[in-house]
Amino acid sequence: MMRGFMRTRADVIFFPATYSFVPVPFTRVVVTAHDAIAERMPDLVVPRRSDRWRWAAKQHLALRQAKVVVTVSSAARDDLVDVLHVPPSRVRVVAEAAHPRFKPPAVSGGTTPTSLGPVDGRPYFLYVGGFSPHKNLVALVRAFDRVADRDPTVALVLAGDIEDDPFLSSASDVQHAIAGARNRHRVRITGYVDDAELVSLYQHAVASVLVSFGEGFGLPVAESMACGTPVIVSDEPALRENAGDAGYYLDPRDTSEIEAAMVDLLTDRSARDRRVAAGLLRSRERSWAHSAECVLSVLEEVAR
């Protein structure tokens, strides 16, 4: 791979993520570092010492060679500076955005997608993403179980590939929590879903939920807001930066707060509508086209 890079004689090489980086001698490099979560909470991401050493070595090489480090939020930039000691002058923030396919349903008041099987026809809360421990999905399942005790119609959908996680996975713990739940028949793990189904999942959810212990940006939050669906999120700097006034913020370590947020959005239509409107407004402030222009500007700066 390195020889292939060397033969290109490129002015600058862009790596869109740290884990795709390989050392390229005598060439200008720009690297995207999405967050410092593995460094801030290693026990939840890379608990084995050997894996932690390999990740730290790769991260160090990437950040050391990069002329400029791109990251996805001001909160992530602060972590790169404070935790990974990247000089602030070498960091550029380029926010992510939802793809244009993520948009509100053409006709409001639609029904739950028929492919959801056991939750077909029910109102449901949606989680989209990986199953790493820092995503806090066991707490989400337990909070939902209490909500489901009070509302016999509601369901929970966890959309993500439980077989493909580049870091530590808590999929077995999540499945165990579901098996022990009183309302386990109302929880569905979809596995991988394609974009068309993912859009539909967002559009018809009561709310999407991301109660992780840390995020660099939180792309599912942006996608949910673009689809006109409110977001329940951890009170973390990157998520506040992402969702703004649209977010329903809570302490992810307090399952009673997660439960209360879901109950509120189930029962208070005006509060839900306010967050939908705020989310749609927020989503119009970003686009991948603008993000691409910002990255291109960085590459041109480095190439000069």
Residue 273's CATH number: 3.40.50.2000
Same domain, 200 and 293: no
* 124-128 and 12-15 strand pairing: unpaired
Same domain, 86 and 186: no
Q: Is residue 222 part of a domain?
A: yes
In this prediction, residue 110 has a pLDDT band, given cuts at 50, 70 and 90, of very low
Same domain, 225 and 257: yes
Same domain, 251 and 163: yes
Residue 212 has pLDDT above 80, yes or no: yes
Q: Is residue 266 part of a domain?
A: yes
Same domain, 78 and 119: no
In this prediction, residue 120 has a pLDDT band, given cuts at 50, 70 and 90, of low
Number of separate domains in the chain: 2
Same domain, 127 and 253: yes
Name residues whose C-beta falls within 8 Å of residue 45's C-beta, 6 or more positions apart in sequence. Answer: 37, 38, 132, 133, 134, 167, 168
Name residues whose C-beta falls within 8 Å of residue 94's C-beta, 6 or more positions apart in sequence. Answer: 70, 71, 72, 291, 294, 295, 298
In this prediction, residue 50 has a pLDDT band, given cuts at 50, 70 and 90, of confident
- 226 CB-side CA count, 13 A: 23
Single out the residue of 236, 245, 192, 193 nearest to residue 218, CA to CA: 236
pLDDT at 2: 55
pLDDT at 118: 52
Same domain, 131 and 274: yes
Residue 187 has pLDDT above 90, yes or no: yes
Residue 109 has pLDDT above 90, yes or no: no
Which segment of 32-41, 157-166, 276-285, 292-301 scores lowest on mean pLDDT? 157-166
pTM: 0.91
Domain containing 60 equals: 2-97+287-303
pLDDT at 25: 83
> Alpha-carbon distance 224 to 226, whole Å?
5
pLDDT mean over 112-136? 78
In this prediction, residue 106 has a pLDDT band, given cuts at 50, 70 and 90, of confident
pLDDT at 114: 43
Q: Is residue 106 part of a domain?
A: no
Q: Is residue 109 part of a domain?
A: no
Same domain, 50 and 133: no
Same domain, 126 and 79: no
Residue 263 · residue 240 · CB < 8 Å: no
Same domain, 36 and 123: no
Same domain, 173 and 248: yes
Residue 163 has pLDDT above 80, yes or no: no
- Please tell me whether residue 44 adopts helix, strand or coil conformation: helix
Same domain, 204 and 296: no
In this prediction, residue 72 has a pLDDT band, given cuts at 50, 70 and 90, of very high
pLDDT at 111: 46
pLDDT mean over 220-243? 97
Q: Is residue 103 part of a domain?
A: no
